[in-house]
Amino acid sequence: MLMMEVAGPNAWPYSPDWLEPGSAQPASGPDWAASASSTYYDMRKTSIYGGATEVQKNIISKMILGF
């Protein structure tokens, strides 16, 4: 999140200008800015599916152990 805040608009996952036909927009900003948003969104999903795994383990343990 901090890297996205530092990069500002350069960390956006896309630019609306890229959708225009024939536009060859060069990447602006530092090299690390383009990957900042994808890294951030990847970290968000790992926290979600990490919690889902724990819930499934609790359900299985309750079924097997009878708690």
Domain limits, the chain: 1-8+30-67
d(CA 54, CA 33): 33
Contact between 18 and 25 (Cβ < 8 Å): yes
Q: Tell the residue number behind the tokens 């795994």, with chain if given.
A: 53
**pLDDT at residue 39, as a whole number:** 80
**pLDDT at residue 31, as a whole number:** 73
**pLDDT at residue 16, as a whole number:** 67
**pLDDT at residue 64, as a whole number:** 92
Per residue of the chain (67 residues), give pLDDT as tens. 778 788 887 777 666 666 677 766 665 677 777 777 778 888 877 777 777 888 888 899 999 988 7
Q: Is residue 29 classed as helix, strand or coil in its secondary structure?
A: coil
